[in-house]
């Protein structure tokens, strides 16, 4: 059986009314283009997904969680610069 690549997921917890979340969105969109086919991106509205936000302990937004093989490897709980997120994704791919 061929070895499967580890699954890397970036979860972006946000709300439509959140100013910093709106500033985070274009950064996430740029990363999504750069990491196409390598990282799955999920945009999760906390107002519509309170149970999921609770499961991940999201108490402030934006919160960005990077998971590898279903385990949290990085977590950011505020507006985060592109280069910081890019570095975290690159490190998580190793």
Instruction: Indicate which residues carry an active-site annotation.
Output: 18, 21
- Strands 63-68 and 8-14 turn out to be antiparallel
Pairing of strands 8-14, 40-45: parallel
DSSP per-residue letters across 14-46: E-TT-HHHHHHHHHHHHHHHHTTTT-EEEEEET
């Amino acid at each position: 059986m061929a070895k499967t690549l580890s699954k890397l997921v970036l979860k972006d917890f946000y709300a439509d009314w959140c100013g910093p979340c709106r500033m985070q969105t274009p950064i996430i969109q740029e990363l999504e283009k750069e990491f196409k086919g390598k990282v799955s991106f999920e945009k999760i509205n906390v107002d519509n997904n309170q149970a999921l936000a609770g499961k991940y302990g999201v108490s402030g937004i934006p919160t960005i969680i990077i998971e590898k093989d279903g385990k949290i490897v990085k977590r950011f709980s505020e507006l985060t610069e592109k280069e910081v997120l890019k570095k975290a994704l690159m490190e998580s791919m190793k």
